[in-house]
Structure 1
Amino acid sequence: MEPGVTRNHVSVAEASRANRRWWDADADSYQAEHGAFLGDVDLLWCPEGVREATAGLLGAVEGRRTLEVGCGSAAGSRWLVTQGARAVALDLSAGMLRHASRLNEKTGIRAQLVQGDASALPLVAESFDVAFTAFGAVPFVSDSARVMREVYRVLRPGGRWVFSVTHPMRWIFLDDPGEGGLVAVHSYFDRRPYVEHDEHGVPTYVEQHRTLGDRIRELVAAGFTVLDVVEPEWPEGHDRIWGQWSPLRGRLFPGTAIFVTRKPISP
């Protein structure tokens, strides 16, 4: 068998193992390619360039305890430290946490780093005021509804949970930033994950698809109140291509969805 790509169901264990290995192996090249755009101390929500400094999706953070779920190099958590937050940054990948630790030392701005699984957070209930992630964890976990429940568990009443993911409608199209990516080829309702596999058929990278309705139902079932769903427009003058994100596609349909939610003060 040749290495390739498919849409196919894989087990929870296969998906977790594949993504942990992929992010560990790819951490250096990912940081080399995207680190300058992401910044060492910045909370960038998406390839469209939306920043927390201007968007304010997390609300007031000074004096708050924050949790970044799937933190990568933890640039967002370090930025929150500069805003007066007490930041904890969690990731499954030791490779990505190595970069987070290096950048903590380089910048002198230190977020607390924790290695852990987003679907089984190794954290005390009701111990955070804010939880967030920019393209971390949620797209890679088979049971994302469980992630929502875990985040709900560790948030204090009134706490915010904000996360960005690839806009679900992008799954209709090929992963192509050019004209080839403007033609609908997949069913929006096909929830089989995108799977890259090696020559033995072993999954090496797995990314999950959920519809907008699926995401809303997961959040509501966990107990969250949905405050907003932000679909960033492609900004004028922004010419960066990141994977399948490009000015060509961005002017026609959204590439990112940002879910802004809150844990109610009273159940």
Structure 2
Amino acid sequence: MDIRKQNEIAWNNEVKIGNKWTLPISSEEVEMAKKGDYTLLLTPTKPIPKEWIGNIKGKKVLCLASGGGQQGPIFSALGCDVTVFDNSKGQLDKDKMVSERDNLTINLEQGDMRDLSRFDNETFDFIFHPVSNCFIDNVEKVWKECYRVLKTGGVLVSGFSNPLIYIFDLYEWEKNNKLILKNSIPYSDIEQLPKNQLEERIENKDTLEFGHSLQSQMGGAN
């Protein structure tokens, strides 16, 4: 099964239905960011401390699996050399819209976060990677690629879901409001969903998801 292609289709669909991560920031937010007043999210609700970003003006920043017209425009407004890399053209189109609307410079690249081979070793000073590892099967490949393209002393910040959410039967929770322990971690929709449910997700243009262990999320590149 082509995981990358299915999730590309799914996220293009999420753009159409208005998922939270597909809603671009406003021109007012861009102007505020130029003055140093901004909010960046790695996970859905809690902004990260600005100390994690620091003085980033003039730095080369990779917004990895980070389309949607949210993070990339902020880094551009902060004076960074920004590349937004995402699997979904629909998401990248959001960044293109904001950049044209607000006269920002953003490099747009479509591709699989597990393969950054188009970039040379030690290209970026900073990688911003919001919660998205749940859409790929091998998180270690992502970490290895991040390590390769980061400059010596570079910084990676990333958000990810607590893998415990994947041990429950999501269908029982949504349909019957019951928490039933069903799955193991690491988790894979492809391997652990019943065939009919997997086929339903594909037909409905839903994402294929994966629950990685905390060990692989936090130490998988070692």
With structure 2 as the length reference, what TM-score do the two structures score? Answer: 0.77
User: Is the Cα contact below 8 Å between 1:89 and 1:111 reproduced in 2?
Assistant: yes
1:217 maps to which residue? Answer: 219
Count of aligned pairs between the two proteins: 202
Paired residues of 2:62 and 2:124 also in contact (CA < 8 A): yes
Percentage of matched positions with identical amino acids: 20
Aligned partner of 2:41 in structure 1 is 44
Please name the residue that 2:131 is paired with: 135
- Tell whether 2:66 aligns with 1:71: yes
Question: Once the 2 structures are TM-superposed, how far is the Cα of residue 30 of structure 1 from its aligned partner?
Answer: 2.8
Residues in 1 aligned to 2:167 and 2:47: alpha-carbon distance in whole angstroms: 27
Q: Deviations over 1:84-134 (max 9, x none)?
A: 221111111111111221122223333211112211112111110001111
Say yes or no: does 1:16 pair with 2:16.
no
1:172 to 1:213, Cα distance in 2 relative to 1, 3 A: same
Instruction: Identify the residue that residue 182 of structure 2 maps to in structure 1.
Output: 186
Q: Is the 8 A contact 1:174 1:180 kept in 2?
A: no
Say which SS state the counterpart of residue 206 (structure 1) adopts: coil
Candidates 74, 80, 86, aligned match of 1:85:
80
**Counterpart position of 1:113:** 108
Go from structure 1 to structure 2 and tell me whether the alpha carbon gap of 1:164 and 1:103 turns closer, same or farther (over 3 Å shift). same
Cα deviation for residue 202 of structure 1 reads 6.7
Structure 2 runs not aligned, ≥5 long: 31-38
Once the 2 structures are TM-superposed, how far is the Cα of residue 61 of structure 1 from its aligned partner? 1.4
Which residue identity lines up with residue 63 of structure 1 in the other structure? G
Deviation at 1:197, TM superposition (A): 3.8
Distance 2:187 2:129 in 1: 22
More helix by share: 2
List structure 1 runs of 4+ shifted beyond 6 angstroms: 200-203
1:187 Cα deviation after fit: 4.0
Structure with higher strand content: 1
SS of 2:188 mapped into structure 1 = coil
Cα distance in 2 for partners of 1:165, 1:55 equals 19
**Matched residue, 2:16:** 28
1:177-224 CA-to-partner distances (Å, cap 9, x unmatched) read 9x937x35234535223666446977942111111122233132xxxx
SS in 2 for 1:160: strand
Give the 3 Å change call, closer, same or farther, for CA 169–55 of structure 1 in structure 2.
farther
| Alpha-carbon separation, structure 2, partners of 1:82 and 1:200 | 38
Secondary structure class of the residue paired with 1:88: strand
CA gap of 1:202–1:76, structure 2 versus 1, over 3 A, is same
RMSD: 3.0
